Amino acid sequence: MRKLERGSGEPLWKQLQEDLVRRLRSGEFDDAFPGELALVEEYEVSRHTVRQALGQLRTDGLIVAERGRQPRVATAPEIRQPMGALYSLFSSVEESGLPQHSVVRALDLRADGVVAARLNLEGSIPLLYLERLRYAGDEPLALDRVWLPASLAEPLLDADFTHTSLYNELAERTGINLDHGREDIRAMNPNPAERALLHCPADAAVFSIIRQGTAQNRPVEWRHTVVRGDRFALSAEYSANAGYRLTPATTALAQAW
């Protein structure tokens, strides 16, 4: 039986909400979240007040509730398709109607001290390396190189990556879903090897996208993708309400303005 200060200026539902957040963060509710009626008894407030507090927690995404069952602590809502420039890239190709496929140029285990360091791993740890040339239509669009810790990604060694996405395979074969990532996007000119592979026109530049992805605070991927600048543009919208959002939809494949 817990006490809330009545008539202290702070609304009861707010006090209740804050106390629940505190207990939630302490891990007290990891097994089961108390039901509304239990909270009514515990805090000696009306169900209305409890619901007001829970409603706040729900819109904040901390708990989920459904009819007939007790509220539960929200599991970190895994990102199905990691967002960002790369997602924007491939979904925009899809919307354009051009057929996509990949040519797998390498899929093996190897050690790479430099990349391992980027993943915050020891240099000698084996990594799964996947290199693909991605086509949109008959022309190459991007060169994609990914390193993942072999300890996590080994089940992917015999996967067929010519048509499926890395994240799909990763989720299906290992249950890992990325929940956080970071991208650095640069404009540069490709080196001769990349230019040849991508069939880049002589005067075309490229996007160089470095992505680090993590799942539950563990590094999962380090990725370097080189995208032809003459066939792709990043498109973004921002507004006071929605903030800054990449819009994979529009104007993605190259055309004059």
Partner DNA sequence: CCGTCAGAAATGTACGTACATTCACGGTAG
Partner DNA sequence: CTACCGTGAATGTACGTACATTTCTGACGG
Sites of contact with a second copy (CB under 8 A): 55, 59, 61, 76-79, 82-85, 118, 179-189, 203-207, 210, 227, 229-230, 233-241, 243-247, 251, 257
Site string for DNA, 194-233 (x = CB under 7 A): ----------------------------------------
14 binds DNA (CB under 7 A): yes
Of 111, 191, 211, residue with least CA distance to 151:
111
Rounded Cα–Cα distance for residues 225 and 200 (Å): 15
For 230, what's the count of Cα atoms within 13 Å in the CB-facing half-sphere?
13
Contacts of 221 (CB under 8 A, 6+ apart): 146, 147, 148, 166, 178, 211, 212, 213
**DSSP letter for each residue of 12-48:** HHHHHHHHHHHHHHTTTTSS-PPPHHHHHHHHT--HH
Q: Toward DNA, which CB reaches closer, 11 or 113?
A: 11
Q: Toward DNA, which CB reaches closer, 44 or 169?
A: 44
**In the complex, minimum distance from the CB of residue 247 to a second copy, in angstroms, rounded to a whole number:** 8
149 binds DNA (CB under 7 A): no
**In the complex, minimum distance from the CB of residue 50 to DNA, in angstroms, rounded to a whole number:** 8
**In the complex, minimum distance from the CB of residue 250 to a second copy, in angstroms, rounded to a whole number:** 9
By CB under 7 A, name the binding residues for DNA: 6-7, 11-14, 35-38, 44-49, 51-52, 54, 65-71
